[in-house]
Structure 1
Amino acid sequence: MSRQQTPPETKQEPLHENERMTPSEALLEQFVAEDAEVMFGIVGSAFMDFLDIMPAADIRYLPVRHEQNAAHMADGYAQALRGEQPGICVAQNGPGVTNMVTGVKAAQLNHSPMIMLSPTATTGSIGTDGFQEADTQSIFDDCVDWQGRLEDKSRIAEYVRTAYRESMAENGPTQIDFARDQLYGEIDTDVLQPNQYRQESIGGADDAKVEDAAELLSRAENPAIIAGLGTIYSDAIEEVADLAEGLNAPVANSYLHNDSFPISHPLAVGPLGYGGSKAAMETLSEADCVLAVGSRLSGFGLLPQYGMDWFPEDADVVQIDADGSQIGRTTRVELGLVGDAAETVRALTGQLDASAGASDDRIEEIRRAYADWKEELEEMSQTDQTPIHPRRALWDVAQALPENTMVSTDIGNTCSLANAYLEFDNPGNFLAAGTYGNCGFAYGAAIGAKVARPDDPSVALVGDGAWGMQSLNEVMTAVREDIPVVAVVFNNMEWGAEKQNQYWFYNDRFVGTDLPENPDFAEIARDMGAHGTRVEQPEEITPAMNDALESGEPAVVEIRTDGTELFEPFRRDALDDPERVLEKYRQSGDSNYDG
């Protein structure tokens, strides 16, 4: 999902030209040329030479508690800036670097620009199974969009430039692999400005294809638009709104990109995908032409919901993406347009017939359907039961969020349901775990987002399983670094997303999914120096959220939710009723149980 490339400003002269310096200085100077602000990681001797001079480069080093979270912070940082700067992370060679695998892979599937620095063992010991040695380039081969192993230390600044160029062009992580001893000595090198080595724009799609797409859309009676991440990264929201108004077409947010089109726009119908807007999916199901802008139309995001196999198989699908490899990759399309989303949509709007678009009556029906869905969602959420119903918790939390709050969500029974509740008017405010679906993403991403945009609130929605796995430890980071992020921990004392599957497919045989030993997470947060509140009653949610947001401190709001409220499985297509062959394993509820 490549996008338009726009360096911060046009600069003509190299920062350094054939100048003598150390490799560590060259590396940092190239980051300085790119206006890099922060690097996330855990201190290690492998990169201590450039760590030592980072303060002089005015690049903040932000130490974390686990390297996976360094990658998640870099991911959140990049997303909050709408891909205008990559997140940067680094770790000690060997185990430190391999700890980042999950976070880097998540960033790849989130299409987040990232630069990972991965030092290795010394040149003379590579291949000897020495201390903390690992072939991290091969380990990360499937996790990054570009990787380079530095063989000549005089090229270290060049490798940084390539990492930036590839990361920004591909919207994904890149890896610079280097033997730790290559940071020492002296080299003669150039340090260039961004305009000297990476492009500014990829331009719009082919004119003839734009005309063909305009013809398809103009003759459609019920056109609909899906706005994806490319709409955000190419700054195309205004262009999409103009096109939607010209077509009188509803606009849905692609799965997990609820900030790709403003919910306050009269043609907005909300997010698609798991737990999303029923009105959006009903609307799409009736479309005769679907325009996907900056969306790869992920198969996971198009799965049936609310009993509807809603994606219109007979509709003409027009897909706009800056990356030609994404056209038709998961969904058959009638026409694919490769180009920058903003420029392509602008050209498309100019080619529409004057009579194009759905009727006013049709749009009024869609607006009523969306209003009905909002009313239904509120009714489902207004319950005073205890433990607190997850929908009530999500409703009250969402209502308490200030304007322009950045929200990150983890994966899980409750957090994934947040898709229906989180609404945005501004891009870059929704950071979801994405299709890699790893636990422990949200809190690290929220910290990275807050570092990127310190003036905007940052809130992470996390389940108790993910909180204990990969998040709780970073409260110490937030306290030490004075990063006032609010974590909302939904404590239902279980791995709810997996318990869903045992409920739906395994006749309530709950093996390995209960977490009865959960501690008081709010108390632990207070012990770490953060603001901590435990919520037991539904009426306590709003004041607890307000107090946390107004505290100006890292905060944890733990909400005790009902673990018996298990929602739809994520993947009905990937599970089936169990069938056993050996008699000893047959149990009630199995498809061939005859007891």
Structure 2
Amino acid sequence: MELTGAQIVIECLKEQGVDTVFGYPGGTILNIYDELYKHSNEIKHILTSHEQGASHAADGYARATGKVGVCMATSGPGSTNLVTGIATAYMDSVPMVAITANVAVNLLGRDSFQEIDIAGITMPITKHNYIVRDVSKLAETIRNAFRIAASGRPGPVLVDITKDVTAAKAVYNKVVPEPIQRKTDEITEDDIKKAIGLITKSKKPFIFVGGGAVISEAHDELKEFVDKVDAPVADTLMGKGAYDGTDSRYTGMLGMHGTKTSNLGVTECDLLITIGARFSDRVTGNAKKFARHAKILQIDIDPAEINKNVVTHSSVIGDIKEVLKRLNEKLSKQNHKEWIAHIMDLKEKHPLRYNQDTLTGPYILEKLYEVTKGDAIITTEVGQHQMWSAQFYQYKMPRTFITSGGLGTMGYGLGACIGAKVGSPDKTVINISGDGCFRMNMNEIATATRYNIPIIEIIFNNHVLGMVRQWQTLFYDQRYSNTNLTDKVDFVKLAEAMGAKAYRIHSKDEVESVLKEAIALNEPVLIDCIIDSDDKVWPMVAPGAAIDEVFSEEDLKNRQ
């Protein structure tokens, strides 16, 4: 049958099983929005307060569900407002399709009103992108975009469609998408054999898990693998929940704000088995001194990650779930009783600590874990609150911790929280924010209230840019250049003005009752938590130092 380009867009979204789109309309994309209106019973559109919020919501939806997230924007500033969200998704390998519209073909290259080369702008931060100038190629392009976004190592794809294409007509025939196949073509028997050899010869193995294990849904295979190797497990920020954070073998996060147990254990191990992690600088510290006593076995879907940041001794390329299945079939049960006992001793000697005398972020997170029984999706912004969320809330399952890792995007969490809740309506979804981050995209509270999306926004309000202040305190002789936020903004009144229920807490004894009430309300809620401006994230590795040079607050006081 013959359809307009706008109709083809909607039919292709329906082909792909898209049930929700996040976006903001404008002139060049009006034809598509007109068709969305006609199909509102099939595809729900969430109008965000800003296009950046739409991109973060699509990202959060994708991370929570494993599906491809979809966002839309008009040309010019509408499309450029998606850029930060697209880059965030790219850095964290999130499957997302961003659909933008542009001026008509005859107006391209003429500096027309709201014309921008969004394909050129996003080329470095997408897996692929397109500009569609011919309506006959539109359906195939959209199908390819979804396939590319979801296959292999996932990532964002941009499809820019000129306005005349959305009005032109072409023959459309429905196509049922083929299932995305797991990447196994590069898994070789020789690589599996080498990996088994390294594991069976190791006396002190350590398993290090990243976001790739979450993406590949390898939770069960990873558990079996850990049991067979008989090794302790650390993770990255992106790897939270891939391995059960309540398991006795779990030692916590690795790296700059990782636990002493993880940092010291990885430094002492003789084999580091790295699963779906890319050895970012925040993990390795001084890369030349990272895991310097160990051979490194890296398992990853992307061959470009092998030997990029850290030189490996062996690697297996392929989908992590499939690689672990093959390793589990061939690996005999190992026994490292003494090594595990040593790591457990480190855990006992070096627990995470915080000030118990006053209201703090860690205390709130521990109470939140207790109240939710760990059965919630936690999203975050970026900063101290993000690190505390990684340290003090325990993640038992994948897709329950959603945060901007690679790009470190302040203003990410609230939009992502909305997207995660839309994608997982039966889960309690809570965004942890600092007051600095909340200012970035706080207008999305209005999105939550517009649709009565029952998210909870918890602000750790220390009236400073906390993580930057921490660095200024430790490394810049307390020169607090532009990090004090001692103004008169009242977040409770602001949230209430946008239609949300709001609370302010100052003390520990208020936390539990407010959290329980907020969850029970089942409506958008903001909780403004007043904490000390000099609370810090401990432990810490100084920039450029080796990870075994990790120090706590007590260590710092002893040095001084």
| TM-score, normalised relative to structure 1 | 0.87
Letter in 2 for 1:78: A
Matched, 1:137 2:119: yes
Letter in 1 for 2:297: V
Deviation at 1:490, TM superposition (A): 0.9
CA–CA distance in 1 between the matches of 2:52 and 2:73?
Answer: 10
Deviation at 1:234, TM superposition (A): 1.7
CA–CA distance in 2 between the matches of 1:153 and 1:352?
Answer: 53
Deviation at 1:301, TM superposition (A): 2.0
Deviation at 1:506, TM superposition (A): 2.6
Aligned to 1:4: none
Deviation at 1:398, TM superposition (A): 3.7
Aligned to 1:27: 9
CA–CA distance in 2 between the matches of 1:71 and 1:77?
Answer: 10
SS in 1 for 2:309: coil
Deviation at 1:189, TM superposition (A): 3.0
Matched, 1:497 2:467: yes
**Aligned pair partner of 2:181 in 196, 200, 221:** 200
Matched, 1:551 2:551: no
Matched, 1:62 2:49: no
Aligned to 1:587: none
Deviation at 1:239, TM superposition (A): 1.3
Letter in 2 for 1:188: V
CA–CA distance in 1 between the matches of 2:412 and 2:541?
Answer: 20
Deviation at 1:303, TM superposition (A): 2.4
Deviation at 1:568, TM superposition (A): 6.7
**Aligned pair partner of 2:481 in 506, 511, 533:** 511
Matched, 1:324 2:303: yes
Letter in 1 for 2:354: M
**Aligned pair partner of 1:189 in 136, 157, 172:** 172
Letter in 1 for 2:321: A
SS in 1 for 2:384: coil
CA–CA distance in 1 between the matches of 2:268 and 2:511?
Answer: 38
Q: Give yes or no for contact 1:402–1:457 (8 Å, CA) kept in 2.
A: no
Deviation at 1:199, TM superposition (A): 4.0
User: Once the two structures are superposed, what CA deviation does each residue of 1:378-427 show, in whole Å capped at 9, x if it has no partner?
Assistant: x524223xxx3343344333433344200011112333232211211111
Matched, 1:46 2:28: yes
* Cα 1:310/1:543, change in 2 over 3 Å: farther
CA–CA distance in 2 between the matches of 1:411 and 1:561?
Answer: 17
* Cα 1:570/1:468, change in 2 over 3 Å: farther
Q: Give yes or no for contact 2:465–2:484 (8 Å, CA) kept in 1.
A: yes
Q: Give yes or no for contact 1:299–1:331 (8 Å, CA) kept in 2.
A: no
Aligned to 1:473: 443
Q: Give yes or no for contact 1:493–1:518 (8 Å, CA) kept in 2.
A: no
SS in 1 for 2:517: helix
Matched, 1:338 2:322: no
CA–CA distance in 2 between the matches of 1:284 and 1:497?
Answer: 25
Number of positions where the alignment pairs a residue of Structure 1 with one of Structure 2: 541
* Cα 1:570/1:50, change in 2 over 3 Å: farther
Letter in 1 for 2:64: A
* Cα 1:518/1:545, change in 2 over 3 Å: farther
CA–CA distance in 2 between the matches of 1:574 and 1:381?
Answer: 28
* Cα 1:122/1:448, change in 2 over 3 Å: same
Deviation at 1:352, TM superposition (A): 2.6
SS in 2 for 1:102: helix
User: Once the two structures are superposed, what CA deviation does each residue of 1:414-462 show, in whole Å capped at 9, x if it has no partner?
Assistant: 3323221121111110001112012111111111000100000101111
CA–CA distance in 1 between the matches of 2:190 and 2:279?
Answer: 23
User: Once the two structures are superposed, what CA deviation does each residue of 1:49-104 show, in whole Å capped at 9, x if it has no partner?
Assistant: 122222544111110011111110011000001x3x11111111100110111111
SS in 1 for 2:173: strand
Matched ranges for 1:142-153 at <5 A = 142-153=124-135
Matched ranges for 1:162-177 at <5 A = 162-169=144-151, 170-177=153-160
* Cα 1:518/1:224, change in 2 over 3 Å: farther
Matched ranges for 1:34-433 at <5 A = 34-57=16-39, 58-81=42-65, 83=66, 85-169=67-151, 170-195=153-178, 199-203=180-184, 205-303=187-285, 311-353=290-332, 356-358=334-336, 360-373=337-350, 376-377=351-352, 379-384=353-358, 388-433=359-404
**Aligned pair partner of 2:458 in 468, 483, 488:** 488
CA–CA distance in 1 between the matches of 2:439 and 2:223?
Answer: 42
Q: Give yes or no for contact 2:213–2:239 (8 Å, CA) kept in 1.
A: no
Deviation at 1:467, TM superposition (A): 0.5
Q: Give yes or no for contact 1:112–1:173 (8 Å, CA) kept in 2.
A: yes
CA–CA distance in 2 between the matches of 1:117 and 1:45?
Answer: 14
Q: Give yes or no for contact 1:479–1:529 (8 Å, CA) kept in 2.
A: yes
SS in 2 for 1:129: coil
* Cα 1:267/1:568, change in 2 over 3 Å: closer
Deviation at 1:291, TM superposition (A): 1.0
RMSD: 2.2
Letter in 1 for 2:480: F
CA–CA distance in 2 between the matches of 1:181 and 1:487?
Answer: 42
* Cα 1:569/1:342, change in 2 over 3 Å: closer
Letter in 1 for 2:296: V
Deviation at 1:572, TM superposition (A): 4.1
Aligned to 2:554: none
Q: Give yes or no for contact 2:255–2:541 (8 Å, CA) kept in 1.
A: no
Once structures 1 and 2 are overlaid, which stretch shifts more, 233-242 or 154-163? Answer: 233-242
User: Once the two structures are superposed, what CA deviation does each residue of 1:273-311 show, in whole Å capped at 9, x if it has no partner?
Assistant: 33333322222222111111122222222227xxx9984
CA–CA distance in 2 between the matches of 1:132 and 1:328?
Answer: 43
Aligned to 1:534: 504
Deviation at 1:188, TM superposition (A): 1.2
TM superposition outliers: structure 1 runs of 4+ over 6 Å: 568-571
Deviation at 1:371, TM superposition (A): 4.5
Deviation at 1:469, TM superposition (A): 1.7
Letter in 2 for 1:452: G
SS in 1 for 2:123: coil
Deviation at 1:132, TM superposition (A): 0.8
CA–CA distance in 2 between the matches of 1:21 and 1:554?
Answer: 40
Letter in 2 for 1:257: G
Query: Gaps spanning 5+ residues in structure 1: where?
Result: 1-18, 576-595
Q: Give yes or no for contact 2:256–2:542 (8 Å, CA) kept in 1.
A: no
User: Once the two structures are superposed, what CA deviation does each residue of 1:455-482 show, in whole Å capped at 9, x if it has no partner?
Assistant: 0010111110110122x21111101111
* Cα 1:237/1:21, change in 2 over 3 Å: same
Aligned to 2:429: 458
SS in 1 for 2:487: coil
CA–CA distance in 2 between the matches of 1:574 and 1:134?
Answer: 40
CA–CA distance in 2 between the matches of 1:497 and 1:453?
Answer: 31
CA–CA distance in 1 between the matches of 2:362 and 2:289?
Answer: 23
